[in-house]
Chains A and B, each alone.
Chain A
Amino acid sequence: MGQCLRYQMHWEDLEEYQALTFLTRNEILCIHDTFLKLCPPGKYYKEATLTMNQVSSLPALRVNPFRDRICRVFSHNDVFSFEDVLGMASVFSEQACPSLKIEYAFRIYDFNENGFIDEEDLQRIALRLLNTDDVSEDLLMDLTKHVLSESDLDNDNMLSFSEFEHAMAKSPDFMNSFRIHFWGC
């Protein structure tokens, strides 16, 4: 795999990325290095793009059951530019604020992209989490019913964004689990 043109990141660019994302200097430089290793040869890093498969097979995302959704939410036109990758890393970084994470979590969990997390989405999430074929319909229905009874406030059998936000604000594990350390930085 060839490498992009070896441009050092300009100091102004680094400062700008630090101001616009939640990443630290080291993290941005780490991501820059890894991006350079993966992108196709002969291109400036700001113009190069990675395919969704390349990003899915990064060590940080390789075993994630939601990696296809993550790639879909953060990519533009099915490719990742360098700034897309930075944006993704920023949302998943430790320093990101809860509202940002909740916003993107909603997008990731909305499998059918209708603006709500409905029963179909919940069943798909549960299947991804359990990762087994040996799961009865009853179990899925039970789980869906319990989740909706806890967080569906207006009883329309789906979660709108504000209901999801409300549920995640009460959830103690959300901030801890919705983190990715990219590229071993």
Chain B
Amino acid sequence: MSEDGAGALPPGRPGRQPGSHQENPSLDSSCFSSPPVNFLQELPSYRSIARRRTAILSRDRQRGTLLKPADSYSSHLDGAITENLNSQSIRKYALNISEKRRLRDIQETQMKYLSEWDQWKRYSSKSWKRFLEKGREMTTHLELWRQDIRSIEGKFGTGIQSYFSFLRFLVLLNLVIFLIIFMLVLLPVLLTKYKITNSSFVLIPLKDMDIQCTAYPISSSGLIYFYSYIIDLLSGTGFLEGTSLFYGHYTIDGVKFQNFTYDLPLAYLLSTIAYLALSLLWIVKRSVEGFKINLIRSEEHFQSYCNKIFAGWDFCITNRSTADLKHSSLRYELRADLEEERIRQKIAERTSEETIRIYSLRLFLNCIVLAVLVACFYAIYIATIFSQEHMKKEIDKMVFGENLLILYLPSIVITLANFITPMIFAKIIHYEDYSPGFEIRLTILRCVFMRLATICVLVFTLGSKITSCDNGTECELCGYNQKLYPCWETQVGQEMYKLMIFDFIIILAVTLFVDFPRKLLVTYCSSWKLIKCWGQQEFAIPDNVLGIVYGQTICWIGAFFSPLLPAIATLKFIIIFYVKELSLLYTCRPSPRQFRASNSNFFFLLVLLIGLCLAIIPLTISMSRIPSSKACGPFTNFNTTWDVIPKTVSTFPSSLQSLVHGITSEAFAVPFFMIICLVMFYFIALAGAHKQVVDQLREQLSLVRKHRPRGSGIAVAPSPHLLPKLCLQAWPPPASFLH
């Protein structure tokens, strides 16, 4: 078999004009000298070539018939054919089923002429692929909520469907986080507590520590009113405080099994690091796709026109009303894009005087935005301090409502702030005179930052309260404010628990008491002008996504202080899925401005990543700076939580120890950092060079076009799936093949 044929038709290589290239005259002549080759004509890639030479053929042709091979069909192509036929699976060819059948028969016949080894290789790769496919098919059955999400996609489009897929991803993430914590922390404790295995707890008493630091009074009053159970349930105090829900329950230094001692403090710390690392890796893996797409897309346009025209219609829509909505949203989008073009041109034509005016106005408005943010943070700070101080006083003596109000004050203030600030931001941004696309992005970014930063402010306020004392002596004793916070991690855990419960209650309450009545009003009292103006609820994707990212950030921060919190979060998200689905189906009309799925996926994961980064900051500070409480928890024998690691490293064999010390020393870190910088600069330079090459090639293409007379399109090699058609043409194989 000649190698020329193989060289002439490698898949994907840009081809040359058939008239001028020497490598496969057979293809050329068989195309044009033989009777019209039906298969080839069907393929657009062929037709681009054929347009130059032959007249445009009519549609009147027979499909599905195989022609006798042209005589000039030589073995030049055989090499290419055997190369390519076996490299792709049959399904990928753009042929109908009867043609694919013939192709498969050809392949099988070809296999007979191969050596035993090749035959076995091919057979085993085919069976392996089939096995993988069956496995994949079975796992799709296991996919959670597959049917629900598909029907949402059909009725509301892919933008809203991406929200529900995101929610499903969070459910799975929380489940895996809980499994990690369960395996590493809960399982040994439970096994020992319920005497399933023959193990015992190891409790090492504190040495050189003032007895005062270890005092941990758990309040238990004699007569308990019924409502205090409810308060305890909602705020994590009372009977819940000592349970395995919170950090304080795990005052264990180790679990002694038959052969070894399980180091619980180390396991606790490692589970935290593990779930943070796992979340980071999983989110980055999921967002890599979207990131690549965002990079490749040209930077000038928010969304390219090609994408909107050719991929604008969701082919999976089956509903008449959804289709009408999609049409109107496409109308809106295309008009808005052209409008944005016009605005961009207007901006470019601004005079310098106007530019100065606009920039000073923007500076002023950004200061207002900052002022609003600072005001909200200050309000949260005050509310938290107030709530903490009053919680310490005799809370049992207060009335029921006042009780809850004090306990939930920080959560209420955060929710109010998150409700008011988006409205303020939306008003402000009108005056800043940005292009519409940028306006949306900036507003969303501000709301995201606001929402997630409020949790950080809360945690930092708590942290400052824990480490501040009225007179210095109290803090010096144990390192933290022991009188108010004998077991401060549990109390931080309680705050996170309260935030999560309150968030859940608010979401349910808004759906039940705002969405459904609104729908009822619109359906039955539509004659009132006000109701008609207000209209039916729209499913606002950004707000909903911020809500669940907020819940997830609370879970990430709180999982260290309250190991069962991820399980609660999983249940919460499952219930929210069904609630949102019902709300969507029964009360919402889709908004005319729709999010695109590709954009949405990347946006959701970006917001989630911001939440994760904002969650890691308070965790690292509390683990490494604030001394761990001496009265409760697994870290009573350590100065701070992080001290477990150096202590464990000191128990390693000395060679390993010196290795670890070497890696963490400056002598290693600085060169490592410099090498990473060099690698990064290399890739940046490479990307810049590629971009230049792309621009040059584009220029070349248009030059080549200019210098050729009209009517000759770009000659391209037929796509890889053209080859089987050529092969079918060649069947039965020429005699030379058999030797």
CB-based A-B contact count at 8 angstroms: 211
- Decide yes or no whether A32 CB sits under 8 A from chain B: no
Knowing A168-B310, A170-B304, the reply to whether A161 touches B48 (Cβ < 8 A) is yes
B719 in contact with A161 (CB, 8 Å): yes
Q: How far is the CA of A62 from the CA of B319 in the complex (A)?
A: 9
- Decide yes or no whether A106 CB sits under 8 A from chain B: yes
**Selected contact of A129 from candidates B98, B309, B706, CB within 8 Å:** B309
**Selected contact of A162 from candidates B45, B130, B596, CB within 8 Å:** B45
A154 in contact with B597 (CB, 8 Å): no
- Decide yes or no whether A99 CB sits under 8 A from chain B: yes
CB distance from B41 to the nearest CB of A (A): 9
Q: How far is the CA of A90 from the CA of B500 in the complex (A)?
A: 45
Residues of B with C-beta under 8 A to A147: 305-306, 309
Knowing A66-B313, A76-B64, the reply to whether A87 touches B96 (Cβ < 8 A) is yes
Residues of B with C-beta under 8 A to A104: 94
Residues of A with C-beta under 8 A to B327: 65, 129-132
A99 in contact with B719 (CB, 8 Å): yes
B48 in contact with A115 (CB, 8 Å): yes
- Decide yes or no whether A3 CB sits under 8 A from chain B: no
- Decide yes or no whether A43 CB sits under 8 A from chain B: no
Residues of B with C-beta under 8 A to A162: 14, 45, 48, 714, 716
What number of A residues sit within 8 Å (CB to CB) of B? 75
CB distance from A171 to the nearest CB of B (A): 4
A115 in contact with B47 (CB, 8 Å): yes
- Decide yes or no whether B315 CB sits under 8 A from chain A: yes
Residues of B with C-beta under 8 A to A156: 705, 710, 713
Chain B residues 315 to 340 lying within 8 A of chain A, measured CB to CB, are 315-320, 322-323, 327, 330-331, 334-335, 338
Residues of A with C-beta under 8 A to B311: 168, 171, 173-174, 176-178
Residues of A with C-beta under 8 A to B96: 76, 83-84, 87
A63 in contact with B330 (CB, 8 Å): no
* Listed stretches B290-298, B415-423, B529-537; interface member: B290-298
Mask, A136-147, CB within 8 Å of B = 1, is: 000100110011
Q: How far is the CA of A162 from the CA of B719 in the complex (A)?
A: 9
Chain B residues 350 to 374 lying within 8 A of chain A, measured CB to CB, are none
CB distance from B598 to the nearest CB of A (A): 3
- Decide yes or no whether B101 CB sits under 8 A from chain A: yes
Residues of A with C-beta under 8 A to B597: 173, 176-177
A151 in contact with B306 (CB, 8 Å): yes
- Decide yes or no whether A8 CB sits under 8 A from chain B: no
A113 in contact with B704 (CB, 8 Å): no
Residues of A with C-beta under 8 A to B92: 97, 99-100
| Residue in B closest to A169 when the chains form the complex, CB atoms | B296
- Decide yes or no whether B115 CB sits under 8 A from chain A: no
Q: How far is the CA of A122 from the CA of B318 in the complex (A)?
A: 24
| Residue in A closest to B321 when the chains form the complex, CB atoms | A63
Residues of A with C-beta under 8 A to B316: 177, 179-181
CB distance from A75 to the nearest CB of B (A): 10
Mask, B700-721, CB within 8 Å of A = 1, is: 0110111000100110100111
| Residue in A closest to B717 when the chains form the complex, CB atoms | A162
Residues of A with C-beta under 8 A to B137: 24-25
Mask, B570-603, CB within 8 Å of A = 1, is: 0000000000000000000000000011110000
- Decide yes or no whether B392 CB sits under 8 A from chain A: no
Residues of B with C-beta under 8 A to A139: 334-335, 338
Q: How far is the CA of A147 from the CA of B338 in the complex (A)?
A: 12
**Selected contact of B91 from candidates A20, A76, A114, CB within 8 Å:** A20
Q: Which 4 A-B pairs have the closest CB atoms?
A: A115-B47, A172-B598, A63-B323, A154-B705
In the complex, given contacts A100-B94, A153-B714, what are 18 additional A-B residue pairs having Cβ atoms less than 8 angstroms apart?
A20-B97, A21-B91, A59-B318, A83-B98, A99-B92, A99-B719, A103-B719, A109-B310, A116-B51, A122-B309, A126-B309, A160-B48, A161-B45, A167-B310, A170-B297, A172-B294, A177-B315, A180-B315
Q: Offer 24 A-B interface pairs, CB within 8 angstroms, sorted by A.
A: A21-B91, A65-B327, A92-B315, A99-B92, A99-B720, A100-B93, A100-B94, A106-B44, A114-B51, A125-B309, A153-B701, A153-B714, A154-B713, A165-B719, A168-B310, A170-B296, A170-B307, A173-B311, A173-B598, A179-B315, A179-B316, A181-B150, A181-B154, A181-B316
